[in-house]
Structure 1
Amino acid sequence: MTIPLRNTIYDKIKEVTSLTDIDLYKSLTKDGFIIPDDKFNKLLLDLEILGLITVAWITKDERRIEISRVEAEVDSVEEQNKEMMEKDYEASFPGFEK
């Protein structure tokens, strides 16, 4: 069973967290993956659409590729509701005092 090329590219980026597209292409070629430019760009675009990486232009011919940092939003109202439900559940047992 072979690993999809997209996963291989993502793993390479994840190893160093930030690199240029030229360095990534050289690394893939060194590992034996010969990828045409259009397919390489499509794979990068797919990973960016999935929200796994971000791609930004450094110069006219070079791009910086980084792992996306996703921070989970904390909803304060949802957090309060959860705490109240836990307290109500615990208070529903007879003889429970806190």
Structure 2
Amino acid sequence: MAIPLRNKVFEKIKEVNSLTDVELYKALTKDGMIISEDKFNKLLLDLEILGLIKVAWITKDTRRIEIVVIKEEIDIVDEQNQEMMEKDYEASFPGFEK
């Protein structure tokens, strides 16, 4: 089963974390993936819509492509509830002392 082109492009971006569209296109061409400009723009748009990358214009002809880093928020209340549930579970065993 062939890996979709979108995944290959995403992996290439993920390798360097941040690059320009020209650098990405050259890297893809170097790896033997010759893509038309329309298809290249469509792939970038799809990845941006999926929330995997962020594309911003640097100059009139150059775009900066970056990986989107998702920070997982820790909910303090959920964390406290989890600790209480673990303590209650451990305390439910006979002869348990802490």
Q: Is TM more than 0.5 here?
A: yes
Identical pairs, percent: 77
Residue matched to 1:30: 30
Runs of 5+ consecutive residues of structure 1 not aligned to the other structure: none
C-alpha displacement of 1:36 = 1.4
Distance in 1 of aligned mates of 2:4 and 2:14: 16
Distance in 2 of aligned mates of 1:10 and 1:24: 10
Distance in 2 of aligned mates of 1:11 and 1:23: 14
Residue matched to 1:70: 70
The total of aligned residue pairs comes to: 98
Give the alignment of 1:1-98 within 5 angstroms.
1-98=1-98
Q: TM-score, normalised by structure 1?
A: 0.94
Runs of 4+ in 1 over 4 A off after TM superposition: none
C-alpha displacement of 1:41 = 1.0
Cα deviation, 1:50-84, whole Å, max 9, x if unaligned, reads 22111111001100111111110111111111011
Distance in 2 of aligned mates of 1:6 and 1:87: 46
C-alpha displacement of 1:48 = 1.3
Runs of 5+ consecutive residues of structure 2 not aligned to the other structure: none
Q: TM-score, normalised by structure 2?
A: 0.94
Q: In structure 2, give the amino acid aligned to 1:87.
A: K
